């Protein structure tokens, strides 16, 4: 039985179009993500990957198309709307405040924090305890949650950004090039963290130009080409050369057949 028959996607996009003036960033794009699935999204520069993710995360409204969360049609007018439905995005650089502590970053700007008192006052001991508990759950190692984020390595920062994204019942975590700026040994840690999210039932969308990342961690890979769906396959049914071809706009006969099969 295919996954499709078994369950409703945790997030689904149908017929998404996005135009920036005369530029067509996305044209009639479809995407499905299931619970506990890691979906790799690949494509050349300008293929529309980041734009699609920003639409799923509520940062941009689409010009056309629909988004469903757990099968229900949703309309996001801000990232806050998406977050309230459990859709989180980890941005490459802008996610964290370097001058704040790890725990403060995790709880920054969260509704729940406000419950601790007036004036968005954060209960210090509670925030430290919960931050530590959450990092432990994700097996993220830092010297102390009191460390300032600017003292961390790139990989640790990325891990804290992922911790922030998952601290409040996320169902979907979208990551746009999370390993692009990392040293080799830090890359593996972030990818293992993604596997861990998967094991906790979270759906992950991973944009990466690094096929090593894609083939290490993803269950399925989809390629966009010039703003359109181009090809997709479970990882076990494709290989690096084929995926490189998709990125360049070449489809092998096998992939074409798979796509036709998918549509039926
Ligand atoms: N805010 C914007 N204003 C105008 N054009 C934009 C904007 N964002 C994206 N675009 C255009 O939309 C198209 C898709 O861009 P997008 O950033 O989604 O590509 P990408 O697949 O993420 O590329 P990369 O791999 O380089 O990150 C490009 O032609 C880009 O120039
Ligand atoms: Mg991009």
Summarize pLDDT for 24-52 with one digit per residue, the tens. 999 999 999 999 999 999 999 999 999 99
Overall domain count for the chain: 1
- C-alpha dist (Å) from residue 182 to 177, 186, 187, 192, 240: 10, 6, 6, 14, 22
- Domain assignment present for residue 126? The answer is no
What is the Å distance from ligand 1's center to 222 Cα?
A: 17
pTM, to two decimals:
0.87
**pLDDT for residue 100:** 86
Q: Is 47 in the pocket of ligand 1 (CB under 6 A)?
A: yes
- Domain assignment present for residue 249? The answer is yes
CATH number at residue 252: 3.40.50.300
Q: Is 245 in the pocket of ligand 1 (CB under 6 A)?
A: no
What is the Å distance from ligand 2's center to 16 Cα?
A: 17
Domain containing 64: what range?
3-99+170-263
- Domain assignment present for residue 77? The answer is yes
- Domain assignment present for residue 146? The answer is no
Helix (H) or strand (E) holding 162: helix 154-166
- Domain assignment present for residue 25? The answer is yes
Concatenated DSSP letters of 137-151: HTT---S-TTSBGGG
Residue 258 has pLDDT above 80, yes or no: no
- Domain assignment present for residue 108? The answer is no
Q: Is 25 in the pocket of ligand 1 (CB under 6 A)?
A: yes
pLDDT digits (tens, 9 = 90+) for 116-125: 444 445 567 7
- Domain assignment present for residue 195? The answer is yes
Q: Is 208 in the pocket of ligand 1 (CB under 6 A)?
A: no
- Domain assignment present for residue 118? The answer is no
Give the ligand at the shortest distance from the Cα of 46: 1
């Amino acid at each position: 039985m295919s996954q499709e028959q078994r369950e409703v996607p945790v997030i689904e996009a149908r017929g998404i179009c996005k135009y920036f003036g005369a530029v067509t960033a996305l044209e009639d794009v479809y995407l499905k993500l299931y619970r506990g699935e890691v979906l790799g999204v690949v494509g050349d520069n300008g293929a529309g990957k980041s734009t699609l993710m920003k639409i799923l995360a509520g940062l941009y409204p689409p010009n056309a198309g629909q988004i469903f969360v757990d099968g229900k049609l949703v309309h996001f007018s801000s990232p806050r709307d998406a977050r309230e439905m459990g859709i989180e995005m980890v941005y490459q650089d802008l996610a964290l405040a370097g001058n704040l502590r790890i725990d403060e970053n995790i709880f920054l700007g969260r509704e729940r924090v406000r419950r601790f008192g007036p004036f968005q006052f954060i209960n210090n001991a509670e925030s430290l305890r919960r931050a530590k508990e959450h990092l432990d759950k994700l097996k993220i190692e830092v010297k102390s949650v009191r460390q300032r984020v600017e003292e961390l390595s790139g990989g640790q920062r990325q891990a804290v950004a992922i911790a922030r994204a998952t601290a409040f019942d996320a169902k979907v975590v979208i990551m746009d090039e999370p390993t692009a700026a990392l040293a080799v040994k830090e890359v593996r840690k972030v990818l293992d963290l993604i596997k861990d999210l998967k094991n906790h039932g979270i759906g992950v969308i991973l944009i990466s130009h690094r096929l090593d990342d894609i083939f290490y961690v993803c269950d399925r890979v989809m390629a966009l080409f010039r703003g359109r769906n181009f090809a997709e396959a479970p990882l076990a049914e494709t290989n690096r050369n084929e995926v490189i071809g998709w990125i360049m706009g070449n489809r092998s006969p096998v992939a074409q057949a798979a796509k036709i099969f998918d549509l039926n």
